[in-house]
Amino acid sequence: MASQNDIGSKSQRISNPLRALGLIQVASGLFILYLGLQLLLSVSSLVQKGNNPAAWIAMIFGLIIFIKGGLHTFSGMFKCFSLVVGRNDPKSLAHNYANPSENQMHFGYTSADLTEMLNSRQNKTFVEPRCWVEGVYYTMFRKLFFLPPPYRNLIQSALSAVINTTVILLCYGILCFMISSSLIGAGNAEIIKNLCTIILGAKLIFIWRNVFFVDRNKLSPPDNLSFKSLILNLVYAVLVPTVFVVIFSFVTIPESGMFTAAVESFNSFPWQMWFWYFSLIPLALTVPLYIMAWCKSREYQLKTEVSERIVDWQESIHPRDLFIAIDNNAMAKRRFMEVPNRVYAQFKPSLQSNSSQSKGEYSGYTVQETQPVFEKSEQFGIFVVLKYLLGIAAGLTTAYTYNILSSIAGEFARRWGGTIDVGVGTVIMQYAFTLLLLFILCRLLWGMAELFFCELKFKSLLVFYRNSGTYTTSKVSVGASIYDSNRSENTVVRSSFHQWFLASEIVSVTFLGRGLTKFDSTRYVMEMHEDTESIDSIVNDLRQYIDKFNVIADVAQNSNARNTAENISRMNIQNQAQTRMAIDNADKLAVSQSNDGFINLNTGDLDQQQTVNLGGDVID
């Protein structure tokens, strides 16, 4: 798994694509175990016959074959196991801040790379040719250049081996030309040709030994061939025969019987035949490789499409609230199986206020990816047939190789006489070259078959969101009348939002690793498709969030607070009514005005009355 302890009740169920290849490997491994067990069981009979050296040979080879068979079987069993898919599998594209327990190795990108990919509409998975071999590859196989990096590494490595093999064959042709044109003495021509063939054949073995060993986690150029090495190989083709001619011009082969027999035996061995075997058989394996790669290239669409929206709003809301809304509202709704989104750039909004603290500016951005959803690959018929044929051929070749080794060991143990004559040595050399060629073929077949079996494809939504702008603060007071019992004073933030949305539905691939941590390999972005619907949905979610946002405190959202406010309001109305009644009563005091300008005032005392003259005199 990409991270530890992330098993949950809701997880993706992905069938193991390596199971078929694992069954083939288990079958061949069990057969190898049977061969090793046979040799080990023959040890007791050899000991009873008194042939202890042969028993030791049978035991050593039996143990080697048995151990190899066990390792082969267990490797196949690991391929057959069900995939342990965690809630955070497959691996993130870059460092995921939402999952700190994830293994921090084998990330294919950085957050800056993903931002640039969305902003510039480019795919950084594909790197321009960096050497002349990649230039040749891009020129000859332009469509195959835009394959996932492991496939591209495999094909470039094979192309480099083909070029190297072609150079070796050219060297061999120069050697044959020098012999046919009598540039090399006729007496030593045969032995010089055989010696040069051995050296060129040894170079072929080193060329093809690790060709199909592919690193799943990086884009590695073919560093085993450069233009300088090509020139040196051509010079080497001319110098090696010349050096042998010079050596044999000063060295005379003794004419004794032992040396003569050794030279005749050396020249009688079919060196040229094995040279052609080591040249042509690996070259033949590149044919199905390029056919399968061509079929695989039809599965991918070379698109770098991105949906973009630029939205400007002016709302009475704090900028931090909108940053929270994009995380907890808009992006949270797009989770798959409630798995947290992968956060490649954390939201760290910066708010800078001026000296009066009433105005300021802000900015912040994030890059997030939804949980990748497994998508079944659309594989063509010829690709599927070749893929399974490669797996079967790898299993049969491995079983046949160890069968020959077991037969050689058993036959040699039965016929061991303590000495090795020339004829036996020639047979041993024949078997040795056969085994060496078969081992190389096994490595090539297993490496090629495993890579084509272990690919998984996913779909996800990659989003870039940037928000910047300015804000101002002001105070709003409600209920400031002398008759109001409720009063609310709020600080309102008026913000200008300049928002930039970038979204793309990406198609990514990963290649299962070995062992139980199969999802720890790099995931590569292959396609980028515009997703207008998703980006419009994100904008609408933010719009709805803002529309429901309360700028000023409102007691109507709580029933208890609403009842209390209603009671207070009724008390205010009663108080106002009583106040108005008191004022009216005061206005209706018993005030009378006579025709002569006097007013009688009732002071409230029945026994005493006063008459007030308008001029100011008091008359009793």
Compare 35 and 563 and report the one with higher pLDDT.
35
Total domain count, the chain? 3
533, two tokens: 């619907």
Same domain, 267 and 359: no
CA distance 213 to 579: 97
CA distance 62 to 103: 41
Query: What average pLDDT score do residues 479-485 get?
Result: 61
> For the segment 601-615, what is each residue's pLDDT rounded down to a tens digit?
444 443 444 444 434
Same domain, 255 and 175: yes
Query: What average pLDDT score do residues 298-319 get?
Result: 86
Same domain, 157 and 269: yes
> For the segment 323-351, what is each residue's pLDDT rounded down to a tens digit?
888 888 888 888 888 888 999 988 887 77
Same domain, 339 and 252: no
The residues near 601 (Cβ < 8 Å, ≥ 6 apart) are: 590, 591, 610, 611, 612
> For the segment 20-68, what is each residue's pLDDT rounded down to a tens digit?
999 999 999 999 999 999 888 888 877 777 767 778 888 888 899 999 9
Same domain, 487 and 619: no
Given pLDDT bands bounded at 50, 70 and 90, which one contains residue 504? very high
Q: Is 508 helix (H, G, I), strand (E, B) or coil?
A: strand
Q: Residue 282: CA atoms inside 13 Å, Cβ hemisphere, count?
A: 34
CA distance 456 to 451: 11
Compare 255 and 99 and report the one with higher pLDDT.
99
Same domain, 365 and 505: yes
260 is a domain residue: yes
Q: Return the pLDDT at 5.
A: 59
CA distance 535 to 541: 10
Final residue before a domain boundary, out of 224, 259, 279: 279
Final residue before a domain boundary, out of 536, 556, 576: 556
Compare 296 and 265 and report the one with higher pLDDT.
296
Is the pLDDT assigned to residue 236 strictly greater than 90? no
pTM: 0.78
Q: Return the pLDDT at 379.
A: 74
Instruction: Give the residue numbers spanning the domain of 225.
Output: 150-279
Is the pLDDT assigned to residue 533 strictly greater than 70? yes
Compare 557 and 194 and report the one with higher pLDDT.
194
User: DSSP assignment of 242-310, as one string?
Assistant: HHHHHHHHH-----SHHHHHHHHHHHHS-HHHHHHHHHHHHHHHHHHHHHHHHHHHTT----B--EEEE
Average per-residue pLDDT for the chain: 79
H helix or E strand, kind and range, residue 174? helix 149-180
603 is a domain residue: yes
Same domain, 500 and 552: yes
Q: Return the pLDDT at 137.
A: 82
Final residue before a domain boundary, out of 556, 576, 604: 556
3 is a domain residue: no
- Peptide bond preceding 90: is omega within 30 degrees of 0, i.e. cis? yes
Same domain, 607 and 513: no
CA distance 159 to 290: 10
Same domain, 480 and 357: yes
Is the pLDDT assigned to residue 161 strictly greater than 90? no
Q: What is the DSSP letter of 584?
A: H
Given pLDDT bands bounded at 50, 70 and 90, which one contains residue 479? low
- Classify residue 139 as exposed, middle or buried by CB count within 10 Å of its CB (0-12, 13-18, 19+): exposed
Given pLDDT bands bounded at 50, 70 and 90, which one contains residue 210? confident
551 is a domain residue: yes
